[in-house]
A and B are shown apart, each in its own frame.
Chain A
């Protein structure tokens, strides 16, 4: 915001009592210095924020027409689709918005891993990000139960049953989660309540995430610190317009699915009303859970730990272990651009995540050209943990990185030449 803006008497009056305008200016305005070399991979955080807002807005109005009761939930969703004004649009936006949110956040996280955004001094920023992912997963899982289709019901049954793997108190915990002896009306009601609550928890986490971000500012593609004003440009107008353009491209992608392939990410079985006596032949979670689902199923009996408990531990560990990345990766160089070995292995890791997703989509006893999926899943799971716990620490010590440029502005000048 220009200095002229701050001389306006009304602005001055408000600013004296509540410095909201300078707060905005220092957060996303011309008063926020941002590395001048951010590429389009840095768009995904703000995009995720926009999708969060879209999800909350559509969710609030959908809740006005939704009935959280096992006898009416499925029909009330269909009433939204058929009778409520623009109900089909709101529901399809909300439904596909969930998938979009995960696409954006996964890309955002891979970007963080590639460019070393989790490294000192941004460890907490990264950990809060992982917490946001966990909160999103809980929200998405509970939201998927609400339409009370076959996948809603059986997904809820399978996932809540994971907790029965906990020794001694497992069954008591599952009964407590259900509020009964199976997934039923009390379960649906609490999931609705929590599904409505969680986005506000996510909002709070996002606020802290941004707070931490603003302390040390964005990382950047070359991964060297900001050394002075020559390395930065004001967030506004440079990155506001860049984010806005990115938003336009993303909305084209998002709206294509909403209007022309609204059920692309969904499962046909969820258009059959929940039936507690018939399990669909293939229970698959939503695509964004597939890699974790593969990890869950990959673990065999190990010593005294049953496959069931081991699978649950491995699945949760696969997410929690990400929080340790800042300490597992000891390399002083942030950006993979200057880490030839790490860069190759990063892409192997990305590929591994996709393979796990592919395994998760297939039946565990299926066979792919003579190779059992179980085996592929176990190899993929082993590599996932090996990458994070062994490969990353090892190459961070053994690898000889190239020398990053002196400064951001030096890197920009080099690139221009």
Chain B
């Protein structure tokens, strides 16, 4: 600082320069910020990944009382053909008994078919209950072995550390017996 010639400027020059400096710096900063976006956005799901973000499921072969697990966006989705008894049990629960109050009707489009993401809302384990001889927990639905969360026949959390019901993905019926998840 001391060993260089110091620039001198009149006050008028100085304001003009300050204004130009500020506006140039702003434009430059905006440009840099815009240039960073492609780097960030390239880490978002790519077009081919997004194209696979829906899954079609044929419900026809699933007998009453049976469940299948399909993969949607890399996650297991439980598709259960519920029995009349299970539907009744699910509908009979009062909202007051629920940790995460939701009626069964809000969780299904057709009572026969329960479709939900099979990832425990506690810490992401996959609950048991898909196979006939799996433990189904105290409420006859699903049971997560990691930390003992019990889900009922509508996939709602009833007991244990999980805070939320098993989430229902967006899905539509393409025909009476095929659905598209996502």
Contacts and interface: CB of A to CB of B under 8 A. Distances in A.
Interface stretch (B44-52, B82-90, B129-137, B169-177): B44-52
A83 B49 CA distance: 8
B41 A30 contact: no
Contact of B38 (A64, A83, A89, A228): A89
B46 A79 contact: yes
Contacts of A85: 38, 41-42, 44, 46-47
Contacts of B160: none
Contacts of B48: 79, 83
A230 B3 CA distance: 8
Contact of B42 (A33, A36, A87, A233): A87
B39 A234 contact: no
Interface in A1-32: 3, 25, 30-31
Contacts of B182: none
B46 A234 contact: no
Interface in B121-166: none
B47 A233 contact: no
A332 interface: no
B1 A234 contact: yes
Contacts of B47: 82-85
Contacts of A33: 3-4
Given A85-B46, A87-B46, A244-B28, A57 B3 contact: no
Interface string B30-65: 000000011101111011110000000000000000
A89 B47 CA distance: 15
Interface residues on A, range: 20 to 34
Contact of A230 (B5, B37, B43, B44): B5
Interface string A65-101: 1000000000000010011111101100000000000
A234 B42 contact: no
Contacts, number: 59
A228 B7 CA distance: 16
A58 B39 contact: yes
Contact of B5 (A57, A65, A89, A233): A233
Contact of A31 (B1, B41, B42): B1
Given A79-B48, A83-B46, A83-B47, A90 B3 contact: no
B37 to A, nearest CB: 8
Contacts of B5: 36, 229-230, 232-233
B41 to A, nearest CB: 4
A30 B42 contact: no
Nearest to A228: B3
Interface of A: 3, 25, 30-31, 33, 36, 57-58, 61, 64-65, 79, 82-87, 89-90, 228-230, 232-234, 244
19 contacts: A3-B1, A64-B42, A65-B46, A82-B47, A83-B47, A84-B42, A84-B46, A85-B38, A85-B41, A85-B42, A85-B47, A86-B39, A86-B41, A86-B42, A90-B38, A229-B3, A230-B5, A232-B5, A234-B1
Given A79-B46, A232-B5, A244-B28, 15 more contacts: A30-B4, A36-B5, A65-B42, A79-B48, A83-B49, A84-B46, A85-B42, A85-B46, A86-B37, A90-B38, A228-B3, A229-B4, A229-B5, A233-B4, A233-B5
